[in-house]
Amino acid sequence: MNINEVKQILTKYDVSVKKQFGQNFLMDNNIINKICDVSNVSKEVNVIEIGPGLGFLTQELKQRANKVMCYEIDPEMVKVVTNRFENDENVIIKYQDFLKANIDNDIEKYLSDKPVIVVANLPYYITTAILIKILEESKYIKQMTVMMQLEVADRICGKPSTKDYNSLSVLMQYYTTCKLAIKVGKMCFYPEPNVDSAVVLIKHKEEILNAAVNEEYFKKFNRIVFAQRRKTLANNLKSGFGYKKELIEEILIKNNIPLTIRTEALSVEQIVHLSNEFYLAQNK
């Protein structure tokens, strides 16, 4: 696929590129193939694609997978892919905002015959919302291969004591293992985005060792301890939760954690453990 071919398709279907929907079409066939390779797409899986756009990735997915179910918010793109794949029984197009979808209902209705994975070149303006929705709402999806802004990919895979490490890193690495699989330059897209991109392979952990006692509390704790990066962990806990200095010091000392530490120096396991300690101290 090259720019002229993309423009021809846009003209043929009389559709326009819409920035507000994060439309940057992936033209590079090598990258499309690599995405399918790292995802292990085969006839043994069903695939959910968020935002098929003009259908370039869909085209490869439908050849390799058992079934592909696509969610697309833009009616013009729905028109294109419905037309392109009208004779493909294994392609299901849903005209819907993915953020409003009932994912597991749809999986039970259309994709229940095989394990389900997500493969998508995401609309960047809602990357985090999409990932969190899948983590929180789907019990069936165990793997996602998703293209996103490189900066967000670095955060998701970020390690402690680096500038990329934040609450999103902790949340994602608590539930999943994340691997930056492919870096993708701007010129692979039409129109070119302003930022570089990367494909991240995300696999749900089979079992979470040392799990949070209360997940909702852990998620809140995780947000609060990173709320102000310049502040220490103790100060974030004080301002975010209003916990007393004595309680904070008691728990940090008990766990051999320096009182002046910043949250970014703590591992995911340490953050989960501390959230459990504070939760249990409040709910004795």
CB of 159 to ligand SAM, least distance (A): 27
Q: Which CB atom, from 6 or from 271, has the smaller least distance to ligand SAM?
A: 6
Phi, psi for 24 (deg, rounded to 5): -135, 105
Nearest residue to ligand SAM by CB is 51
Q: Which CB atom, from 122 or from 271, has the smaller least distance to ligand SAM?
A: 122
Which 107-166 residues touch ligand SAM, going by CB under 6 A? 121, 123, 126
Q: Which residues pair with 68 in a beta bridge?
A: 47, 91
CB of 109 to ligand SAM, least distance (A): 18
**Site for ligand SAM (CB under 6 A): which residue of 2, 8, 33, 99?**
99
Cα–Cα distance for residue pair 162/122, rounded to 1 Å: 25
Q: What is the DSSP string of 68-79?
A: EEEEE--HHHHH
With CA atoms as reference, report the closest residue to 216 among 136, 126, 281, 99: 136
Tokens of 16: 């326009």
CB of 189 to ligand SAM, least distance (A): 7
Torsion of CA 199, 59, 4, 1, to 10 degrees: 60
Q: Which CB atom, from 121 or from 138, has the smaller least distance to ligand SAM?
A: 121
**Site for ligand SAM (CB under 6 A): which residue of 9, 13, 21, 132?**
21
Cα–Cα distance for residue pair 224/279, rounded to 1 Å: 14
Any contact of residue 78 with ligand SAM (CB under 6 A)? no
* Burial (CB count within 10 angstroms: exposed 0-12, middle 13-18, buried 19+), residue 283: exposed
Q: Is the sign of the CA dihedral 14, 15, 17, 23 positive or negative? A: negative
Any contact of residue 106 with ligand SAM (CB under 6 A)? no
**Site for ligand SAM (CB under 6 A): which residue of 15, 17, 26, 168?**
26
Q: Which residues contact 252 (CB under 8 A, 6 or more apart)?
A: 233, 234, 258, 259, 261
Q: Which CB atom, from 74 or from 106, has the smaller least distance to ligand SAM?
A: 74
Residue span 34-73 as binding mask against ligand SAM, x where in contact by CB under 6 A, dash where not: ----------------xxxx--xx-------------xxx
Any contact of residue 97 with ligand SAM (CB under 6 A)? yes
CB of 163 to ligand SAM, least distance (A): 26
Q: Is the peptide bond before 123 cis (omega within 30 degrees of 0)?
A: no
Q: Which CB atom, from 50 or from 171, has the smaller least distance to ligand SAM?
A: 50
Q: Which residues bind ligand SAM (CB under 6 A)?
A: 21-26, 50-53, 56-57, 71-74, 77, 97-99, 121, 123, 126
